[in-house]
């Protein structure tokens, strides 16, 4: 029998930050409501209280809430909160799927952040450019995809803003590892792949990575189960 | 002309703006949807910064003694300046 605890448990840093932000905002709102209701004279005590309510606590909410928010935006669950991403995220989460996205998502190094791990920009300001691109995603979602079907049907094919770089693959799949170099198809294009002239995605195509995506000829929806298929 | 009433109003506006800012941030924390997160991190931050600036301005003006000689209605509960020798004050 599973017993649900009466008090929400905090297991992660993100949850701790969110709890801290909520507590700080509660204290701040208490102080502000007290001031609005009582309208005390601006004596020393009132100024100190308002400094906490208008400065210290809101700054705490901002810091902890922003960090928690940014951390949450790394998760696949966040990506899937836009319905057009469901063909991608549901496939990645499917334990029976053999797509590259699903296989990588089952790897502990990717886990819940598999979308971000592959699609984030890197280099010095990579995190910032990734977030800016996120704003671009939101803009296009609101202007072009908001009225599409439950899995994004009827919208324009979703595509990447820039070609997927080989370095995103070779960060882990080293082109010097014996397991990589012994593959016949790799040997013939070794230098081209290392220079980026031949893309990994030229052979490991999109339909093998995100098979349910409309852009790769998918239906968007999960495949019918065996039981329903036999009916 | 800046008076004690102006300072009180600055604090009032700051208070209301902070509540709006906190509301946006709390909603984004409880319901972390993309649009709400963007609103919290843009408008929420903007309102919060503005409200703190307004409050600090009010404090600076108050510390400088702005409006010390204002004859403001006593029911507002404002601090009255200490009586000075030779000053003539109205009822």
Structure confidence by residue, pLDDT tens digits, A38-82: 999 888 999 999 999 999 999 999 999 989 988 888 899 999 988
What's the rounded mean pLDDT across residues B4-17? 91
Residue of chain A whose Cα is closest to the Cα of B23? A25
Contacts of A50 in chain B (CB under 8 A): 11, 15, 55
| In the predicted structure, residue A9 carries a pLDDT above the cut 60 | yes
Is the CB of B29 less than 8 angstroms away from the CB of A68? yes
**So what's the pLDDT on residue A124?**
65
Give the residue from B58, B64, B65, B89 showing the smallest Cα distance to B79.
B65
How close B85 comes to chain A (CA, Å)?
Answer: 24
- Rounded to the nearest 5 degrees, what angle is found at the Cα of A70, between the Cα atoms of A68 and A74? 110
Residue of chain B whose Cα is closest to the Cα of A57? B22
How many Cβ atoms from other residues are within 10 Å of residue B45's Cβ? 16
Is the CB of A78 less than 8 angstroms away from the CB of B59? no
**pTM as predicted:** 0.76
Q: DSSP alpha helices (H): ranges in A40-95?
A: 44-51, 57-72, 76-79, 86-93
How many Cβ atoms from other residues are within 10 Å of residue B87's Cβ? 9
User: Tell me: the pLDDT tens digits for A143-170?
Assistant: 998 888 888 888 888 888 888 888 889 8
């Amino acid at each position: 029998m599973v017993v649900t605890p009466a008090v929400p448990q905090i297991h992660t840093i993100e949850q701790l930050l969110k709890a801290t932000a909520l507590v700080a905002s509660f204290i701040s709102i208490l102080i502000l409501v007290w001031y609005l209701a009582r309208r005390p004279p601006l004596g020393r005590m009132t100024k100190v209280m308002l400094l906490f309510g208008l400065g210290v606590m809101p700054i705490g909410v901002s810091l902890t809430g922003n960090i928690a928010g940014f951390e949450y935006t790394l998760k696949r669950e966040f990506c899937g909160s836009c319905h057009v991403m469901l063909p991608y995220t549901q496939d990645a989460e499917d334990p029976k799927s053999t797509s590259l996205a699903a296989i990588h998502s089952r790897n502990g190094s990717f886990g819940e952040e598999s979308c971000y791990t592959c699609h984030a920009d890197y280099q010095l300001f990579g995190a910032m450019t990734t977030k800016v691109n996120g704003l671009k995603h939101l803009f296009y979602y609101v202007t072009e995809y908001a009225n599409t079907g439950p899995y994004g049907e009827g919208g324009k094919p979703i595509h990447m803003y820039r070609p997927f770089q080989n370095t995103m693959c070779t960060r882990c799949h080293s082109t010097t590892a014996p397991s990589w170099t012994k593959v016949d198809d790799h040997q013939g294009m070794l230098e081209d792949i290392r220079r980026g002239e031949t893309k990994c995605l030229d052979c490991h195509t999109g339909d093998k990575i995100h098979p349910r995506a409309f852009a790769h000829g998918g239906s968007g929806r999960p495949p019918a189960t065996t039981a329903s298929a036999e009916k | 002309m800046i008076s004690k009433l102006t300072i009180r109003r600055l604090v009032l506006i700051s208070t209301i703006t902070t509540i709006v800012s906190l509301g946006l941030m709390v909603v984004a924390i409880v319901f972390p949807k993309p649009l709400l997160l963007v609103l919290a991190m843009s408008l929420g931050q903007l309102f919060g910064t503005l409200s703190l600036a307004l409050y600090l301005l009010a404090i600076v003006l108050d510390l400088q003694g702005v409006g010390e000689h204002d004859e403001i209605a006593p029911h507002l509960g404002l601090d009255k300046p200490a009586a000075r020798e030779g000053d003539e004050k109205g009822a």
